[in-house]
């Protein structure tokens, strides 16, 4: 039904318009009594065998929603009704920002992929906090935080992450530090170990002041050379970072079916979806081997089939996240994965 009717209809619209249209629909539908219960009944699939305890939290299943779809923490409960056991909201920055000029979101249907250069458009952490207060989460909530694009000096960047972290501490269950978005000038250079430690060390120090422990994950790019990944991993293990989100979108374009002239027309941006999967798999395997399984991994990038979800878990991921696969496969996708994992996943 989704692939035959809904997706062709949505794909007639420009991707950003289709996204806004779908979210508006969700906003209206959630006012209908029992709508949420009905969606949960149709799409969620929770069985005890899928649950896993990690970071002191009980995840009903390993599959969550990746950052970028619910940028302002407006729909996390509705999205969790579609089966996600956790939802990563954001990226959120201290101040609201518009992101890059449009058009900035493109579908590559031949490749089951998306290119985006949204540029971390979001309404800021205060807006997100108000939303979370008004609609208390029914799922595990992750805040993905980043610096504002206008924060150009190291001091400003460090202060942005600290500010976002401390402001959001009481409202979410765990944090992802986004240092790998390819669409914000200078953000990826924060993965250099000296910058990374300048950002993460103060955050880890702040955490010690709180009574409750909130896990902190670092989201890295799939384009990093493995030597640099290893430096990051060694630092994370030593410093007390709780896990790695592997990874973000890629700048690479090899092996795509989409014609070259179309890619040139689209221009720069991060590629997500099917073509990213092999990179994600290699990255997850590498992290798992290098850390000997001591640093939990959230595997994200190009999961388009239940078999790939299983393969990533076997490669060492503890949890998984999906974005583009949800757009291409539709609302039943998480349920299909969970049912498959129930049959085939040996923990
Ligand atoms: C339109 C779009 C916006 C995104 N925005 C963010 C973001 O704000 N922060 C972030 O860390 N990742 C963002 N991502 C990256 C996703 O979280 C994910 O890492 C990536 O898309 C790979 O997963 P996928 O192939 O399942 O989509 C975005 C992805 C897309 C497609």
What secondary structure does DSSP assign to 186-202, as a single string? TTGGGGSHHHHHHHHHH
What pLDDT band is residue 289 in, cutting at 50, 70 and 90? very high
Does the C-beta of 108 come closer than 6 Å to ligand 1? no
Output the pLDDT for position 320: 98
List the residue whose alpha carbon is closest to atom 1 of ligand 1. 116
The residue whose two tokens read 């076997």 is 314
Mean pLDDT of 225-249: 96
Mean pLDDT along residues 163-176: 98
Q: What global pTM score does this model have?
A: 0.97
- Angle, helices 125-134/154-168, rounded to nearest 10 degrees: 10
Q: How far is the CA of 325 from the centre of ligand 1 (A)?
A: 11
Q: Domains, the chain, ranges and CATH?
A: 2-344 (3.20.20.70)
Q: What is the mean pLDDT of the chain?
A: 95
- Measured from the Cα of 326, ligand 1's closest atom is 26
Does 324 contact ligand 1 (Cβ within 6 A)?
A: yes
Ligand 1 centre from 35 Cα, in Å?
27
Q: What share of the chain is helix, strand, coil (3-state, %, to 5)?
A: 45, 15, 35
Q: How far is the CA of 259 from the centre of ligand 1 (A)?
A: 23
Q: What is the pLDDT of residue 114?
A: 98
Q: What is the pLDDT of residue 295?
A: 98
Give the side-chain half-sphere CA count within 13 A for 300.
Answer: 33
- Residue 85: CB partners within 8 Å, gap ≥ 6? 46, 59, 60, 61, 62, 63, 64, 139, 140
Ligand 1 close to Cβ of residue 105 (< 6 A):
yes
The alpha carbon dihedral of 30, 309, 112, 70 has a sign of positive
pLDDT for residue 3:
86
Answer whether residue 325 shows pLDDT above 80. Answer: yes
- Residue 115 Cα, ligand 1 centroid: separation in angstroms? 10
CA–CA separation, 172 and 145 (whole Å): 12
Report the percentage of the chain scoring pLDDT > 90: 86
Nearest CA to ligand 1 atom 22: 301
Is residue 30 scored above 90 in pLDDT?
A: no
Any atom of ligand 1 within 6 Å of the Cβ of 97 = no
Atom of ligand 1 nearest to the CA of 300: 23
Residue nearest to atom 18 of ligand 1 (CA): 248
Q: Judge whether 326 and 2 are in contact, CB under 8 Å.
A: no
Q: Whose alpha carbon is nearest atom 13 of ligand 1?
A: 68
CA of 248 to the centre of ligand 1 (A): 6
Above 90 in pLDDT, residue 334? yes
CA of 211 to the centre of ligand 1 (A): 32
pLDDT range class, residue 263, cuts 50, 70, 90: very high
> What per-residue confidence (pLDDT) applies to 108?
97
Closest atom of ligand 1 to CA, residue 249: 20
Q: What tokens does 322 get?
A: 């999906």
Report CA(255)–ligand 1 centroid distance (Å).
20
């Amino acid at each position: 039904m989704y692939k035959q009717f809904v997706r062709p209809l949505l794909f007639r619209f420009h991707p950003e318009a289709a996204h806004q249209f779908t979210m508006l629909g969700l906003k209206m539908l959630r006012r209908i009594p029992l709508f949420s219960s009905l969606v949960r009944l149709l799409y969620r699939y929770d069985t005890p065998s899928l649950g896993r305890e990690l970071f002191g939290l009980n995840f009903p299943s390993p599959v969550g929603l990746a950052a970028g779809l619910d940028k302002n923490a407006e729909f996390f409960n509705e999205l969790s009704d579609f089966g996600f056991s956790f939802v990563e909201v954001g990226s959120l920055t201290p101040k609201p920002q518009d992101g890059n000029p449009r058009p900035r979101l493109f579908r590559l249907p031949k490749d089951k992929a998306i290119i985006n250069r949204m540029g971390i458009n979001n309404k800021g952490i205060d807006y997100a906090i108000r939303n979370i207060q008004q609609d208390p989460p029914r799922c595990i909530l992750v805040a993905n935080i980043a610096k504002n694009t206008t924060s150009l000096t190291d001091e400003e960047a460090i202060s942005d992450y600290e500010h976002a972290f401390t402001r959001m501490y009481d409202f979410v269950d765990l944090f992802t530090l986004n240092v790998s978005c390819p669409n914000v000038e200078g953000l990826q250079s924060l993965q250099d170990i000296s910058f990374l430690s300048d950002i993460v060390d103060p955050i880890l120090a702040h955490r010690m002041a709180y009574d409750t422990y909130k896990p902190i994950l670092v989201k890295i790019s799939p384009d990093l050379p493995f030597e640099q990944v290893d430096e990051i991993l060694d630092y994370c293990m030593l410093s007390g970072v709780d896990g790695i989100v592997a990874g973000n979108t890629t700048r690479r374009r090899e092996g795509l079916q989409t014609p070259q002239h179309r890619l040139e027309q689209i221009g720069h941006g991060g590629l997500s979806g099917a073509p990213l999967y092999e990179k994600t798999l290699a990255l997850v395997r590498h992290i798992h081997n290098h850390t000997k399984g001591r640093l939990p991994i959230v595997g994200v990038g190009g999961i388009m089939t239940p078999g790939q979800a299983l393969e990533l878990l076997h490669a060492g991921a503890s949890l998984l996240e999906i974005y583009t696969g949800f757009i291409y496969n539709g609302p039943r996708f998480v349920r299909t994965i969970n049912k498959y994992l129930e049959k085939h996943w040996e923990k």
